[in-house]
A and B are shown apart, each in its own frame.
Chain A
Amino acid sequence: MPLLDAQNVSKAFGRFRAVADADFAVDQGEIIGLIGPNGAGKSTLFNCLAGDMVPNAGRIIFDGADVTRASAEAHARVGIGRTFQVPTTFEDMSVLDNVMVGAFLRHPHRDDAREQARRIVELTGLKPDQRARSLGTPGRKRLEIARVLATDPRLLLLDESLAGLTPGELQDAIALVRRLHEMGITIVIVEHIMEVIMTLTKRVVVFNQGHVIASGTPEEVVADERVIEAYLGRTGTPERGSKP
């Protein structure tokens, strides 16, 4: 039984179906790449998987329980964590305080939460006393990862958390994600940078026009006719399909 099983999920905005009959399953312990051209519906799928949006149709099963209509809070509680494509860090709060908000989910007492937050801030290589506002976008993305890690997720949905990094930062970030995977967290990573997908994942799922058009190893997928067509028909090759 997969850890997460999304069956026939659809999400429409007005008449437009951003996610259309998507089937998507993740096994415990996997690290999956979710790729696709801009506007393919990847973030919308994440929003459905994380309880941020309720799908118009379909079912989402997590660890055997139906979470389709559960709130975002409930998703966090059962262990589905996510980052946002556009960072949503708590700007007026320090890095440590941001992470503590997440830590309070499993550690109601302040001292325990602070200890958990400190561990994670250290793991992610952030400075605890820095104001979130003073971080650049890469720093904010890293803080988002730290914040959601503090909730002890079993499944982590990373939405372009590695975008916009310098080559050096990128290697650090890849090492961090690998580390999280080794810690036992199941990970789905949306990323336009194929280097990340190639080095981190064994299985890639390609999304286009709201549903899965291909899946397989990274090598298989980039050679797939439909994938090439999807990218060429839209924004170019997967390698250079990064956002404006």
Chain B
Amino acid sequence: MKKLAAPPLGLTLLAVGLVLYPLLFSDAFYRDIGVTFLLAAIAASAWNIVGGYAGQISVGHSMFFGIGAYTPVLFYTLWGWPPLVGIPVGILLSLALAAVIGLPTLRLSGHYFSMATIAVAELIRILVGTWNFVGAAIGLQGPARGRAWWDLTFRSELPYYYIFLVVLGIVLAVTATFESRRFGYYVRAIKAGERAAKSLGVPVHWTKMQALLLSAAFTSIAGSLYVVKTGFVDPGSGFGILVSVQMVIVAALGGAGTLYGPLLGALILIPLQTATNNWLGGGGSGLTFIIYGGIIVLIARFEPGGLSELWHRLLRKRWKRVDATA
């Protein structure tokens, strides 16, 4: 049996802080920021599994987010089913899509994989935008008022906040678990060098596929949480490229391939986004584009090789220092 170690102080403080936050800031505005932050952290943590740990930089994760968002409200629109039923179906659809998309694209390397994922996600967005069955350009709406708890439609922000917090906890716990096991070693080895990994018997394609499936499932859940919170989804908010880019940026900003990186990234980016949107009064997605663009330029300026590379470069510096002082 494994001994249960006491959680480190930082983690305890973080957990306590997150639990207490909406109680300390009871204003709807602050609670809304909290919910948005949690959602961004969940989505980026989900992306991080395949994009960060396995180093397969998907810029098309909105395909899973969108499926997760559309499925519950589609079932509600069609048959009045509670969103809770649609969530697992969304996960299954996302897994199926991940398998179909992953099979050819995971054999591509580096930028080609990224470009392929962008192309697929954009294609889906355009198709959904012209498909009346799923509301075309208008999108779909969930229950206006919850019939019971399983409609997951609440007046207060508080239930959303705590549901999201529990889901974030689950995503991080799953990530922490695989991080220290064979799968975690294998994804890191693949990221560091596929050829060497193969020579040691690492089943490279299957491991990447597993990472993509796990990532897609959690991203789908993030999409579902988004739709139960907003009660509404359209092609842009579900399948738009901004959705994918946000996951990449949040994770890369905090540290791709690290457990708490996405959390840290969301902690910086979401309040920043909210603040700037408020200053300029409903600047909306135009401003978001500018912020994301700025961050991309900043990261690319210092690390032209790619977004997640910046973090590695910082880590290398730190290790060099550690090694030098050791």
Contact = CB atoms under 8 A, between A and B. Distances in A.
A pairs with B: yes
Interface of A: 50, 52, 71-73, 75-77, 81-82, 84, 88-93, 97, 100-102, 104-105, 108-110, 113, 130-131, 133-134, 147-148, 150-151
* SS class, residues of chain B in contact with chain A: helix
A101 B189 CA distance: 7
A191 B256 CA distance: 40
B195 A52 contact: yes
A101 B200 contact: yes
Contacts of B316: 92, 133
Contacts of B196: 84, 88-90, 147
A133 B324 CA distance: 12
A151 B192 contact: no
30 contacts: A52-B198, A72-B195, A72-B198, A73-B198, A73-B202, A73-B203, A75-B199, A76-B201, A81-B199, A82-B199, A84-B195, A88-B195, A88-B199, A90-B192, A90-B193, A92-B315, A97-B188, A101-B185, A101-B189, A101-B197, A101-B200, A104-B185, A104-B186, A104-B202, A105-B201, A110-B182, A130-B323, A131-B319, A147-B196, A151-B201
B199 A76 contact: yes
Contact of A77 (B201, B315, B322): B201
Contacts of A88: 193, 195-196, 199
Contacts, number: 83
B319 A100 contact: no
Contacts of A81: 199
A108 B182 contact: yes
Contacts of B201: 73, 76-77, 102, 105, 151
Contacts of B199: 50, 52, 72, 75-76, 81-82, 84, 88, 148
A92 B189 CA distance: 9
Interface string B172-205: 0000000011100110110011011111111110
Chain B: interface size category = 20 to 34
A102 B201 CA distance: 7
B147 interface: no
A113 B20 CA distance: 41
Most buried by A among B200, B204, B315, B323: B200
Interface of B: 180-182, 185-186, 188-189, 192-193, 195-204, 312, 315-316, 319-320, 322-323
A93 B12 CA distance: 27
A110 B312 contact: no
A133 B200 CA distance: 19
A105 B200 contact: yes
Contacts of A100: 185
A52 B195 CA distance: 8
Given A52-B198, A77-B201, A92-B315, A101 B186 contact: yes
A160 B201 CA distance: 21
Most buried by A among B181, B201, B202: B201
Contacts of A102: 200-201
A139 to B, nearest CB: 12
A93 B195 CA distance: 16
A64 B199 CA distance: 21
B200 A151 contact: yes
Most buried by B among A93, A101, A130, A133: A101
Contacts of B188: 90, 92-93, 97
A147 B319 CA distance: 21
Given A73-B203, A105-B201, A151-B200, 12 more contacts: A72-B198, A73-B198, A73-B204, A93-B189, A93-B192, A97-B185, A101-B186, A104-B186, A109-B182, A134-B319, A148-B199, A150-B200
